[in-house]
Amino acid sequence: MIPDKRVTIDEVAAEVRDGMTVGIGGWGSRRKPMALVRALCRASVKDLRIVSYGGPDVGLLCRAGKVREVVYAFVSLDSIPLEPHFRNARQSGSVTTMELDEGMFLLGLQAAAWRVPFLPTRVGLGSDVMRFSPSLRTVRSPYDDGEELVAMPALELDVALIHMHRGDQGGTGQYLNVDPYFDDLMCMAATRRFMSVEQIVATERFLADGPPQSIRINRLMTDGVVETPHGAHFTECVPDYPRDEAFQRAYTASAKSDEAWSEFRARYIDVTEADYQQVVKS
């Protein structure tokens, strides 16, 4: 009997408490758990440390005043290279950052997933990654080569939020696009793991939609699953739907003034997910 791990969007948001470190899956403006992010924006939580290959998830949470620190290598909307709300937050000094290389980020998640304190890498040496994070240490090889490497510390997450194309009620998840990103690692690096999916299907259905290797998230990696159709909107979720470029431009325009943001927030954030989906469909 497959367990039933189905939860609601609000139950997921309630798992996130002040000061927590939250990892968010996807990459840039691609396959982001936006329904969950919108719910977090509505919640009263604050002082979050966000770990993300960043896109509008980071921008929205910064603009909604939820973020203390962003651990990142980039925050981008892909077709719009610089995330406007993240830029405003940084330039006003309202959020601090840990500046990482994309690969160090992977190693940090992997170290947390494997329960080791760090993983060694050459990446970071010589760059200002070390200057902006004085807590980063190097480590010397105990073997004859004696090489000095960066000891990328484990990026331990309190909560991970990811979005998959298909899932079952037990919390198994399947991606149907070409890149799994780092969603499985996000889950494995976290204490509590929640997955939104386009559609909850019977487990038997997985192999009709994709090969076994597309079932990237097994149920050891998740604590809860929530069906959020169109829930990655406005980010890309191919093959189910492309990025909503027109909406993304409107989102970008909402960074131009407080009035523009208030209007955007009232229309698209301070509404239920069902109402949001109704509005963006029309």
* Residues forming the site for another protein (CB under 8 A): 27, 54, 72-76, 81-82, 86-87, 90-93, 96-97, 99-104, 106, 121-129, 131-132, 145, 147-148, 178-182
> With respect to another protein, which residue has the nearer C-beta, 178 or 208?
178
> With respect to another protein, which residue has the nearer C-beta, 52 or 228?
52
Quote the least distance from Cβ 53 to another protein, whole Å. Answer: 8
> With respect to another protein, which residue has the nearer C-beta, 123 or 157?
123
CA–CA dist 15, 10 (Å, integer): 9
Backbone angles phi, psi at 100, to 5 degrees: -125, 155
Quote the least distance from Cβ 98 to another protein, whole Å. Answer: 10
Quote the least distance from Cβ 133 to another protein, whole Å. Answer: 10
> With respect to another protein, which residue has the nearer C-beta, 44 or 92?
92
26-55 burial: b if 16+ Cβ within 10 Å, else e: bbbbbbbbbbbbbbbbbbebeebbbbbbbb
Q: Measure the N-to-C terminal CA separation of the chain; round to a whole number of Å.
A: 41
- Nearest Cα neighbor of 267 from 251, 252, 256 is 251
CA–CA dist 52, 159 (Å, integer): 12
Helical H segments across 53-145, by residue range: 56-63, 84-91, 102-114, 129-132
What's the token pair of residue 8?
């609601």
Quote the least distance from Cβ 251 to another protein, whole Å. Answer: 17
> With respect to another protein, which residue has the nearer C-beta, 3 or 93?
93
Quote the least distance from Cβ 172 to another protein, whole Å. Answer: 20
